[in-house]
Amino acid sequence: MSQEFNLPGMPKIASGKVREIFDAGEYAVIVATDRISAFDCILQDPIPGKGQVLNQLSAYWFGKFSEVPNHFLSTSLRDFPVGFQAFAELLAGRSMLVRKARPLPVECVIRGYLAGSGWKEYETSGTVGGHRLPPGLKLASALSQPLFTPSTKAQNGHDEPISWTQFRDLVGPRLAEPMREASLTLFERGREFARDRGIIVADTKFEFGLLDDELLLIDECLTPDSSRFWPAASYQPGSSPASFDKQFVRDYLESTNWNKKPPAPHLPREVIEKTSQKYQEALIRLTGYPLASNP
Ligand SMILES: Nc1ncnc2c1ncn2[C@@H]1O[C@H](COP(=O)(O)OP(=O)(O)OP(=O)(O)O)[C@@H](O)[C@H]1O
Ligand SMILES: [Mg+2]
């Protein structure tokens, strides 16, 4: 993996495409790096400030939407176990103390608009996640109601869409409905809130884990990495909306001849800078504060 992130002496529980998770005894410390992935591949260039944006935005939503139990404990270094204090510079702004959970092997995707793989499926079969939709919808059209379109969480490679039955078989009948309901609730709350700030949340995905028997929202929440954010002002069904998320990077990569296998091509400097600005703009719009002033 390019752009490694280590804290010497601190054992890692997991290393994802973007986040690193360190063991903190009863808890865990999640560090959001500046790595960016697109098409399930980590790109070679970091996006400055991205990790802080993801961390601070997730912390903001976890605090706001506490009616769905989540893993968040603190972003304040003084609450972290003492061994982490020595790494203040590396951790500042991009780390979170969380409750350690056993991640469930699925992604709970919610779609409110037609975009990405949902749009591709609609174009070929008139369905999204197997749900039949009315004809005549355009790219970026709003759906009459949000759809739950879960996928697998692949250890390596691409996440695959799964049916409701496959989803229920993977997580078990006790958890399936609560996970779907929590995902829809969070999406509705988040998009209502974002709408007032001029942002359309087109779609998003959530991850859940189990701590003993308790279902917890884990990982990240309503960030430009896990969601498609579109500025409401320039929204126009029928065209790819100018977005606050990595759609910008995806569009660039689609314009190259890259075969979607690692290594991905380097990003031009303008794309890196523009993406960094986009992430920060999303944070400011949603929380009201720029990076430096966010807790
Ligand atoms: N509270 C938690 N307890 C345990 N594991 C967690 C917790 N929150 C997140 N994780 C796991 O940490 C990892 C976060 O890393 P990241 O989001 O970068 O990975 P990813 O790109 O989603 O997927 P992958 O892990 O497959 O690369 C995920 O595997 C996620 O399931
Ligand atoms: Mg993740």
Write down the domain spans for the chain.
12-100, 103-245
Could you name the CATH architecture of 103-245? 2-Layer Sandwich (3.30)
Q: How far is the CA of 135 from the centre of ligand 1 (A)?
A: 37
Q: How far apart are CA 207 and CA 220, in angstroms?
A: 8
Cis previous bond, 263, omega within 30: yes
pLDDT of res. 132? 97
Q: What is the pTM of this model?
A: 0.94
Q: Write the single-letter amino acid at 64.
A: K
- Counting from 1 in the atom list of ligand 1, the atom nearest the Cα of 101 is 3
What is the pLDDT, as a whole number, of residue 154? 80
Mutation to probe ligand 1, out of 23, 43, 204, 207 (largest number of atoms < 8 A from CB)? 207
Instruction: Output the residue whose Cα is nearest ligand 1's atom 15.
Output: 16
pLDDT > 70? residue 97: yes
For tokens 């994802």, the residue is 16
12-100: CATH superfamily: Phosphorylase Kinase; domain 1 (3.30.200.20)
Say if residues 200 and 191 touch (Cβ distance below 8 Å).
Answer: yes
For the CA of 20, the nearest ligand: 1
Percentage of the chain surpassing pLDDT 70? 98
Please give the torsion angle defined by the CA atoms of residues 289, 188, 58 and 76, in that order, rounded to the nearest 10 degrees: 80
| Ligand 1 cavity residues, CB under 6 Å | 14, 16-19, 21, 28, 30, 71, 98-101, 103, 153, 155, 207, 209, 218-219
The mean pLDDT value of the chain amounts to: 94
